[in-house]
Structure formats: C-alpha cells, structure tokens
C-alpha cells in the first residue's frame, strides 16, 4: 500500500510539473522594440505585445536585463489635462487576452542603461512570470523615425 501511494504521489508531481510547463508556453511576445536614444540618456522605454493563449490568467511579476540597472512597468495617462506616469507592481494578462505595451500607455521603463544600444542592435530582457517561468525576450532597437512609423500600424 505504501509503495502504491508513493508511485501515485510521484506521478502527481510529474503531472503538476508538466502542467506548469504548458502554462508557461501560453504567453507569447511579439513586436518587441525600443526606440534608439542618444548615448548620454540613461533611461529608455520598451514596447511589445504580450498574448495569453491559455485558459488561466497570467502575471508578469518582475523584469530583468543585464544591460540596465532596473526595469519597471509604467502606465502613462492623462489626468486633468496633464500626462502622468505611474509605476505598476505587475502586469496581468487575462486568458485569451492581449496586452499591448505602447507609447502613451502601458510600457516598460528601463533605468540606468549601462551602454545605450544603437539602431539595428538587439538586446535581451527577462520576464519573470507568476508560475516560476522566465521568458527571454529579444528587443529590436529601432531608429526614431522607424519606431514611430512601425507603431502607427498597431
């Protein structure tokens, strides 16, 4: 009896681990980019589209990049005719939903850039997810005019 319970318990652990891996695959990232900034500017913003094709809500808890001191989700909004930017603790993506990170809305602020990437470069960012997964995202650095033009089609 004890041995049977052990094997059932072990099988349950493997099933739960497999479910966690599938849940991590439910989040996809597309059109990840940043605008090229002058080399002397220490901060930047990142934009992308996150899609949750799974059946469960997902949350991005934190962000990391080796090329910057820190990253945070921020939301720009107009309050009483003035634009304000507020930090967000995390980013929630409902099942079957898409979260657009774009200029003038929710985006990722990058603080303390060690060496500002140039147009044509690609940099990497890690999204730390609620179920322990880490998504590695490649960000395309676009020249100012290219970045503005690309965004107009969203």
Of 27, 4, 6, the C-alpha closest to 92 is 27
| Residue 20 covered by a domain | no
Which CATH number is 101's domain given? Answer: 2.60.40.1890
Residue 134 placed within a domain: yes
Task: Report residue 78's pLDDT band, with 50, 70 and 90 as the boundaries.
Answer: confident
Q: Which of 73-77, 78-82, 124-128 has the highest average model confidence (pLDDT)?
A: 124-128
In a domain, 48, yes or no: yes
The range of the structural domain enclosing residue 50 comes to: 27-151
Q: Are 88 and 101 in contact (CB under 8 A)?
A: no
Token output for 72: 């945070």
| Residue 146 lies inside a defined structural domain of this protein | yes
Number of domains in the chain: 1
Over range 27-36, report the average pLDDT. 97
Note whether residue 114 is domain-resident.
Answer: yes
Of 12 and 140, the structure prediction assigns the larger pLDDT to: 140
- Kindly state whether residue 11 falls inside one of the protein's structural domains: no
Q: Which pLDDT band holds residue 79 (cuts at 50, 70, 90)?
A: confident
Q: What span, in angstroms and rounded, lies between the C-alpha atoms of 37 and 72?
A: 18
* Model confidence band, residue 151 (pLDDT cutoffs 50, 70, 90): very low
DSSP SS3 for 19: helix
Given this model, what pLDDT does residue 8 score?
60
User: Does 110 map to a domain?
Assistant: yes
Least confident range of 8-12, 87-91, 105-109, 121-125: 8-12
* 22 in any annotated domain: no
Rounded to whole angstroms, the Cα distance separating 88 from 106 reads: 9
């Amino acid at each position: 009896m004890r041995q049977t319970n052990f094997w059932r318990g072990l099988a349950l652990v493997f099933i739960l681990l497999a479910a966690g891996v599938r849940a991590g695959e439910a989040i996809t990232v597309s059109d990840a980019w940043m605008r090229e900034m002058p080399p002397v500017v220490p901060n930047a913003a990142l934009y992308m589209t996150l899609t949750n094709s799974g059946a469960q809500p997902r949350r991005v808890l934190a962000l990391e990049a080796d090329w910057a001191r820190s990253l945070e989700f921020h939301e720009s909004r107009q309050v009483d005719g003035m634009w304000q930017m507020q930090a967000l603790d995390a980013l929630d993506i409902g099942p079957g939903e898409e979260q657009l990170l774009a200029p003038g809305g929710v985006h990722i602020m990058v603080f303390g850039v060690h060496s500002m990437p140039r147009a044509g470069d690609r940099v990497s960012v890690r999204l730390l997810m609620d179920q322990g997964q880490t998504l590695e995202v490649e960000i395309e650095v676009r020249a100012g005019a290219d970045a503005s033009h690309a965004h107009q089609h969203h």
